[in-house]
Chain A
């Protein structure tokens, strides 16, 4: 158990719909990262937040948005869903210390989204 919690674990929806994926980072971790993994593909970086602020953006579609709340949990919103959005969405967290850190990411178990 990494300590990162993601909900829901599974989600089935139709094209054109909107869904929200939720992530609670490990206690004390300030950074949250979202990754998308399509079938038999690598992890594609979407977006990163640090202590409530967006820090880095990857190949995230305009139909997707995210935020990190004051309690440090994060949500990834996916709208106008298409068949190609079907994937595993992973959230990860890491701690940033004044002394530096390895940057190791701790991953949640993922939310499997199926768009029909």
Chain B
């Protein structure tokens, strides 16, 4: 089976840095994804990690430790438009890359 845990809600200040953690337990692990989802809209891809380490992409970075079943998404220079839900998802190799999602972390960015 697969289990993915992430905090339900977080708040941060505009211009600050926030780290959203995710722990996972999956069989046939084939990578860890982060998606952003604004309310009522489609999820959009942010990052993908399959090897241990940090992947940086502009203001967003994602880290993976396979041995610990742990990932985090780091958002820098927060903007109001970053207020959204951030979904951690694990890819299942045995399932033709189906993604199992965590419940999501709702981030509120305040001025």
**Which chain B residues (60-99) contact chain A, with CB distance < 8 Å?**
87, 89, 91-92, 95-99
Interchain CB contact (< 8 A) of B98 among A33, A41, A90, A106:
A33
User: How far, in whole Å, are A31 and B44 apart by their CA atoms in the complex?
Assistant: 17
CB distance from B23 to the nearest CB of A (A): 15
CB distance from B85 to the nearest CB of A (A): 9
Instruction: Give the chain B neighbours of A102 by CB distance below 8 A.
Output: 31, 48, 50
Interface residues of A (CB under 8 A from B): 2, 31, 33, 35, 41-45, 48, 50, 55-56, 58, 88, 90, 94, 96, 101-110, 112
User: How far, in whole Å, are A50 and B98 apart by their CA atoms in the complex?
Assistant: 11
User: How far, in whole Å, are A33 and B33 apart by their CA atoms in the complex?
Assistant: 16
Q: Is the CB of A103 within 8 A of B43?
A: no
Closest B residue, CB atoms, query A101: B97
Q: Is the CB of B40 within 8 A of A96?
A: no
CB distance from A59 to the nearest CB of B (A): 11
